[in-house]
């Protein structure tokens, strides 16, 4: 009944169907992996944001990359801002609003520096280089920050006084003091931050759509298998009906060609 599956046409269909199902399953597993990564990231964010502030030297050192598990943790640094080497961090919108961040070195008593994102100023349609950043406070300040890992890719300032990525390793080569491998977003500051600077909000721990996408891909895989089985059964049923009709037609034709028997009656004896 299913011998037709060995035909070339059905072998091609079978291979294509199996590949399609495997692709759907693989995409579903990939989305599950993405969901696990997002869950792990959310766990780090939640643990970091809720952590008690500790001195920066307990979590990072000049020239050392930040440990992944310490991302978003709260740290405290005391020093003096260096406005001469301040940078404008561009293309980092806050809540969908374009603007510029004030990225300022905070020089500690040991002579090391830590890059602090002091806050955000909306551009309001102005070019980035026309946005005025409020001056940092003079004298000694104590800042609580959310730690961020140094970012790779762009190196030092793309154009004078601005950066798009905080590549601490590359920026350290342009500054006159050792630079911590981590940088941070201001949470609190004593004395208070200047008016006109909006503190960067903490990241949201969102689960994202990955789990629902995974379920959809697995449903597609099941639908593919079910559809292929229905296609095979429909083909088998059609072939069986065609064979039955052919047999019925052959039987009817044979009956029509069969000779009729000799008739007997009164006229035969005359």
Q: What is the mean pLDDT of the chain?
A: 86
C-alpha closest to that of 69 among 38, 48, 42, 54: 48
140 belongs to a structural domain: yes
pLDDT of 173-203, one tens digit each? 999 999 999 999 999 999 987 778 999 999 8
At 203 the pLDDT is 87
Q: Are 186 and 199 in contact (CB under 8 A)?
A: yes
108 belongs to a structural domain: yes
pTM of the model: 0.72
pLDDT of 139-180, one tens digit each? 999 999 999 999 987 555 556 788 999 999 999 999 999 999
23 belongs to a structural domain: no
C-alpha closest to that of 119 among 205, 204, 203, 195: 195
Omega of the bond leading into 191 within 30 degrees of 0 (cis) = yes
34 belongs to a structural domain: no
25 belongs to a structural domain: no
C-alpha closest to that of 165 among 114, 103, 83, 84: 103
Domain count, the chain: 1
At 227 the pLDDT is 86
202 belongs to a structural domain: no
263 belongs to a structural domain: no
92 belongs to a structural domain: yes
pLDDT band, residue 270 (cuts 50/70/90): very low
At 155 the pLDDT is 52
Percentage with pLDDT > 90 across the chain: 53
Which range of residues forms the domain containing residue 154? 53-190
Q: Are 73 and 146 in contact (CB under 8 A)?
A: yes
pLDDT of 204-254, one tens digit each? 877 788 899 999 999 999 998 998 888 888 878 777 777 777 777 776 666
């Amino acid at each position: 009944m299913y011998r037709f599956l060995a035909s070339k046409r059905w072998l091609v269909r079978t291979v294509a169907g199996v590949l399609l199902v495997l692709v759907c399953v693989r995409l579903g597993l990939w989305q599950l992996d993405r969901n696990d990564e997002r869950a792990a990231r959310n766990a780090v964010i939640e643990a970091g944001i809720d952590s008690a502030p500790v001195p920066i030297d307990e979590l990072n050192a000049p020239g050392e990359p930040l440990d992944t598990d310490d991302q978003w943790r709260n740290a405290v640094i005391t020093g003096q801002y260096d406005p001469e080497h301040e940078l404008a961090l561009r293309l980092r919108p806050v809540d969908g609003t374009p603007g510029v961040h004030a990225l300022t070195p905070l020089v500690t008593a040991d002579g090391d520096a830590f890059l602090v994102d002091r806050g955000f100023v909306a551009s309001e349609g102005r070019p980035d280089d026309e946005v005025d950043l409020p001056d940092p406070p003079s004298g000694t300040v104590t800042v609580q920050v959310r730690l961020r890992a140094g970012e790779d890719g762009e190196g030092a300032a793309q154009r004078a006084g601005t950066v798009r990525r905080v590549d601490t390793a590359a920026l350290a080569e342009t500054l006159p003091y050792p630079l911590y491998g981590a940088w941070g977003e201001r949470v609190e500051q004593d004395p208070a931050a200047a008016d006109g600077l909006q503190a960067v909000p903490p990241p949201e721990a969102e689960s994202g759509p990955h789990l629902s996408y995974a379920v959809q891909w697995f449903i597609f895989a099941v639908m593919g298998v079910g559809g292929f089985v229905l296609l095979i059964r429909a083909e088998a049923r059609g072939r069986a009906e065609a064979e039955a009709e052919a047999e019925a037609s052959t039987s009817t034709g044979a009956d029509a060609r069969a000779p009729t028997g000799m008739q007997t009656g009164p006229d035969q004896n005359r």
